[in-house]
Structure 1
Amino acid sequence: MCHHLFMSDEDRYRRFNLRIPKDVFAALQVTADARSHSMNAEIIQRLEQSLQINGLASTVKTDELSPEESLMLGIWRAMSHDEKMAMMAFLRAFMARSSS
């Protein structure tokens, strides 16, 4: 039996107050509006992405990386969110084209 079907929002979510700089809030609001997301959905998605990215990257020991991998990781970490999303779109298209 799947219990999460009967869980209320109060059971699945934790509410808390968050102070955020006005310029960051404004940037999030513009992005959320452009993507037809709520502010909450935009923030959750970005947090999930950063936790996945940082979680994966933090499990790699830098001494296990080749010089090229280390360079690529440094470039990736210096990119903005939009640059990372553009790079991911490019890589997906490249891989799809390479496999066909």
Structure 2
Amino acid sequence: MKKIAAIILLSLSLFSCNVYNNMTSSNFKQAQTLLSSLSADSSVKQISTLLTLLDTNKNNTLESTETVGAVEENFNLLDTDHNLSLSLEELKGLLPLLKK
């Protein structure tokens, strides 16, 4: 049982590292810049661009391992259906949380 738990933990750790390795530094910098420029008045197009930049596995949702900054800090609040990922619709919920 301990071996199985260790294998699962190791696999999750490697997956987490892989997600960040898959994100190019350019995408990461662009996402950070975009995120820092967002406000409550930002557009849905900007949120969609943020989703595209952060979505390293290209499944059109963000898992917690793909998030940074305010998205990461508010992940559980934004995940309204509690499926451990954020859709574009859920990610739009970030806008009211940002300062004008």
Shared fold (TM-score greater than 0.5)?
no
Decide which structure has the larger Cα Rg and report it. Answer: 1
Which protein has the bigger helix share? 1
- TM-score w.r.t. the length of structure 1 is 0.33
- TM-score w.r.t. the length of structure 2 is 0.33
